[in-house]
A and B are shown apart, each in its own frame.
Chain A
Amino acid sequence: MVKKSVPDWLNSSLWSTAPPPTPPNDDDDDGRRIGKSSSSDSTAAPSNSSSSKSANTTATVVPVRPEPPPAVEIRDPLSSSNNNVENGSGTVEIRDPTGDDVSVQAQLLQELSRKIVNIGELRKLASQGIPDGAGIRCTVWKLLLGYLPTDRGLWSSELIKKRSQYKHFKEELLMNPKDWKSKCFFARQSEITRRLDKSTCIEKDESLPETGVVLPRSEITHGEHPLSLGKSSVWNQFFQDTEIIEQIVRDVKRTHPGMHFFSGESQSATSNREALKNILIVFAKLNPGIRYVQGMNEILAPLFYVFRNDPIEENAACAEADTFFCFVELLSGFRDHFCQQLDNSVVGIRATITRLSRLLKEHDEELWRHLEVTTKVNPQFYAFRWITLLLTQEFNFADSLLIWDTLLSDLEGPQETLLRICCAMLILIRRRLLAGDFTSNLKLLQHYPSTNISHLLYVANKLRTQPAR
């Protein structure tokens, strides 16, 4: 490693006006990367690089890169050479590396390379929007969701522990139905089966081929027959699980059909879908109270996308396990929205929608009155999807990642932040809403027009500082 006086990120080609055309070189140690503008910042391995050099506490960004990045084309949703087809909205913007961007990026990298990450500082930086430079977002999200501890030294041990735990879950819960059935079923029935086998031995299976023997009947305990409707019946559980698994498979197939990452018959897409399916099945089995509800796949997709595109091979390979735990954490705040019985309760989705409504009334009474009273647009018609799916369906994929940056990093917590962003969404199109009637407003709100995300987040932020909270 060459000791440099100037930090490498300062020397990165981000500063150059034209992105260098050559593809990334094989890694050599000095960390100066020639690559695409958006990827060249990764001079610091932001997360648990096994190299001990990364435990540098100084402000110098350590130019260590354990291995060359994997296939670059799938990494960046905003990179134009990426062959992702964006869902819906036409052009894919390339973020020009403005001065602000680079400095946020640099600060994030600096923060991430500390021995003990300062979460407060990280939150503040992340809420400005995490640049799409490789490796930053996945680590930041993992930190914000509490998956990685703040102490970098504990990262590798935590990860090993969690990943093996997930593997354990999978082995236990994702058995082939036949094996599962035989395992549980025969485990319970083993005594009876053994007894039966013994008795049929006495009846001599082989030695009385000629005479008709009335076959011995044995009793069934606990209603363990295939048509059993009993809750405790292994068979009943099996059929119920099969139903849920079928639904999960259906929904996973429909997730982001426009993105090559998820859809299509390529091997990577199929394995991605398989991973999504496994995570959802494990979650459904571990949470019998809530099981699987349509929409969970949409919340899972961005998490998996970000973690799978981690430039560090090891992390990308274990993306499934990491995503599972982060998904559980993220969903924990929003679980009640998915529980039908809680719909009308204080914590259910209706209550949340009412809170949004009240928020709007506070900040923009005129708009509120026009929407709910004059044109009678019940907020349930549009806000339901906004809130339960965390705005993943309202914007294109790249924008929703930015929104999630703010959602996850805001100090007030994702629930409050989400409501503020929804409120900001309404306020931003107030002129069109005020001019419209029921039909046009509903249409507008259910197909929210594409907008400048930074502006949206800015307005949402401003809503926070208003009094009467």
Chain B
Amino acid sequence: MVLVLAIGDLHIPHRAPDLPPKFKSMLVPGKIQHIICTGNLCIKTPLINFLLFSPQEVHDYLKSLCPSLHITRGEYDEDARYPETKTLTIGQFKLGLCHGHQVVPWGDLDSLAMLQRQLDVDILVSGHTHQFKAYKHEGGVVINPGSATGAYSSITYDVNPSFVLMDIDGLRVVVYVYELIDGEVKVDKIDFKKTATTATH
């Protein structure tokens, strides 16, 4: 029973000041085992006066929730240490992580599926579109956790803050989708069972 938080596209402080308080109240340390972050967390700007956050603060905040933190680089992340893609294995699942701005057309399932095959993962988590999506594709799942702050994207202004929590348990993953709609947190869940035959991808 491993809880994995998928979150990203925060754009703090440029497009949003902070995570919504209702999300923050739920994200407490000690419950989550891994955090995978699609990118666009925070920006280091040279103009210190305009900084609402010190450069590392969002990263540190996530790190305080869980020490196992994996981040990929979004196009606005100035921290060049983040990789473009990342893969990790949790339980029986292979997860792939990528910000998504590299995959063109943005948010297109077939292109993301190419990336999934390329990384050879069961679950691909990508972002950039700031829209929650969950597709099933070829025995694997493509998940977009959306933007946790509700920051506007290049595509749309109307963004509901959202993130995803995955409960990985053996061959089964339950995906909990947390969305902030009209000021209320709405939680949905999605069940996905990995069939054993797709183990050889």
Which A residues fall within an 8 A CB radius of B?
Answer: 177-178, 181, 193, 196-197, 200, 205-206, 209-220, 223, 225-229, 239, 243
Contacts and interface: CB of A to CB of B under 8 A. Distances in A.
Most A CB within 10 A of own CB, among B110, B137, B139, B175: B137
B189 A220 contact: yes
The B interface is mostly helix, strand or loop, or mixed, namely strand
B188 A227 contact: no
B155 interface: no
Given A206-B195, A216-B190, A225-B178, 12 more contacts: A177-B1, A196-B191, A205-B195, A212-B135, A214-B133, A215-B190, A217-B134, A220-B176, A225-B165, A227-B176, A227-B178, A243-B30
A243 B28 CA distance: 13
A228 B169 CA distance: 19
B3 A226 contact: yes
Q: Which 9 A-B pairs have the closest CB atoms?
A: A227-B26, A212-B109, A217-B188, A212-B135, A212-B137, A225-B187, A215-B134, A220-B187, A225-B176
Contacts of B193: 205
Given A178-B1, A225-B176, A209 B138 contact: yes
Contacts of B176: 220, 225-227
A226 B31 contact: yes
Nearest to A216: B190
Contact of B188 (A214, A220, A229): A220
Contacts of B15: none
Contacts of A197: 191
A210 B138 contact: yes
B159 to A, nearest CB: 18
A215 B1 contact: no
A217 B30 contact: no
Interface of B: 1, 3, 25-28, 30-31, 109-110, 113, 133-139, 141-142, 165, 167, 169, 175-178, 187-193, 195
B26 A229 contact: yes
A225 B135 contact: no
Given A215-B134, A217-B177, A239-B31, A225 B189 contact: yes
Contacts of B177: 217
A398 to B, nearest CB: 41
Nearest to B27: A227
B3 to A, nearest CB: 5
B136 A212 contact: yes
A200 B135 contact: no
Contacts of A181: 1
Nearest to B198: A209
A395 B135 CA distance: 67
B187 A215 contact: no
B180 to A, nearest CB: 13
Nearest to A200: B191
Given A177-B1, A215-B192, A220-B188, A227 B165 contact: yes
A122 to B, nearest CB: 49
Contacts of A229: 25-26
Contacts of B165: 225-227
A209 B1 contact: no
Nearest to B133: A214
A223 B187 contact: yes
A225 B30 CA distance: 15
A103 to B, nearest CB: 59
Central interface residue in B30, B191, B193, by most chain A CB within 10 Å: B191
Given A205-B193, A220-B176, A227-B178, A215 B136 contact: yes
A213 B135 contact: yes
Contacts of B3: 226
A214 B136 CA distance: 6
Given A177-B1, A217-B190, A226 B142 contact: no
A249 to B, nearest CB: 15
Contacts of A209: 138-139
Contact of A215 (B28, B141, B195): B141
B41 to A, nearest CB: 20
Report which residue of A197, A205, A212, A243 has the largest number of chain B beta carbons within 10 angstroms of its beta carbon. Answer: A212
Given A177-B1, A227-B26, A227-B27, A214 B135 contact: yes
B170 to A, nearest CB: 9
Nearest to A214: B135
A212 B190 contact: no
A223 B138 CA distance: 31
B190 A218 contact: yes
Contacts of B110: 212
7 contacts: A200-B191, A212-B142, A214-B133, A218-B191, A227-B27, A229-B25, A239-B30
Contacts of A200: 191
Contacts of A196: 191
Contacts of B187: 220, 223, 225
Given A212-B135, A225-B165, A218 B141 contact: no
A220 B174 CA distance: 12
Contacts of B138: 209-210
A213 B141 CA distance: 10
Contacts of B167: 226
A267 B88 CA distance: 38
Contacts of A225: 165, 176, 178, 187, 189
B162 to A, nearest CB: 12
A206 B167 CA distance: 22
